[in-house]
Amino acid sequence: MAETPDQNHDDLGPQQAVPSSVFIEIKSVPQRSYARDLRLRDGDVIVAIDGAACHLDIAEFEDVLLDARDDETSVFVTIGRDQMFFEIFMTGPLGISLDYTDAQRAADIAARFANHSVGPKAQYQTYEALRDVRRHVTIYSTDYSGLATICPPLWLIQHRALEPLAAVIAAYAAAAAVHWALFVITVGLIGAYFHKIQFRIIRNYNIFTEHFYWIVCAARSVADAQKICREIDPKCVFSFSYVGPPQDNEVEDKKAARRAARAAK
């Protein structure tokens, strides 16, 4: 019988009990997988579900994801990466290899997670972050925005998407120059188009401006999403920052290196 996409128990047979104190760890992420779309990495740890520590075995966790796919709902998961935690929504099997953390790492994660606050699932929404080679980051919510349907130009201004804004205004102007009825039809068609694929427009625009798909996370606000990005990359920069500029430690690092070199002489 074929294994499920996520199933990889390695040497742990179904009859072998998994310690209740360990966590599930991502062993490897294929190039084409749902986990890759979520920008999960090798070594990420499934720490909690709905804010409660997750000590499920791999088969149980896979069943939770399968149920989410079948019920067309989402699982609210806390991910542990290096020394930080962040939340994410999962809507189905990840298509990856999974393993278990060792007891020592699990104990360290559990101790740090005790100081991590997770709010109710309903307060969170999914944010995508794209970053360019200069570490400039654009963040946007994937949730539906009524403004995108009612007034696409204002929504594009909000996201600073100038080229699409120019195209929409040009379409309005050309239609108005022909006939007022054509203008009304054009407004309706553009509004319907933005209603259907609005966040993809912003994603594709940012890719066009040489930003690369970087992080997916669940957060309560743009400010919280920026904090997550700053924890992952302390030197990332935002056009409209809620977390201030990144700390520039380059000068101090150079001074410390010179002092260390002098002390070694």
Higher pLDDT, 98 or 9: 98
Reported pTM: 0.79
Low-confidence winner among 9-13, 79-83, 144-148, 195-199 (lowest mean pLDDT): 9-13
pLDDT tens column, 225-262: 999 999 999 999 998 889 888 876 554 445 555 565 56
pLDDT tens column, 120-162: 999 999 999 999 999 999 999 988 889 999 999 999 998 888 9
The three-state (H, E, C) secondary structure of the chain, written as one string: CCCCCCCCCCCCCCCCCCCCCCCEEEEECCCCCHHHHCCCCCCCEEEEECCEECCCCHHHHHHHHHHHHHHCCCEEEEEEECCEEEEEEECCCCCCEEEECCHHHHHHHHHHHCCCCCCCHHHCEEEEEEECCCCEEEEEECCCCHHHHHCHHHHHHHCCCHHHHHHHHHHHHHHHHHCHHHHHHHHHHHHHHHHHHHHHHHHHHHHHCCCEEEEEEEECCHHHHHHHHHHHCCCCEECCCCCCCCCCCHHHHHHHHHHHHHHHC
What's the pLDDT band for 19 if we cut at 50, 70, 90? low
Domain ranges of the chain: 24-123, 125-238
Which CATH superfamily hosts domain 24-123?
Answer: PDZ domain (2.30.42.10)
pLDDT tens column, 50-105: 999 999 999 999 999 999 999 999 999 999 999 999 999 999 999 999 999 999 99
Report the pLDDT averaged over residues 95-117: 93
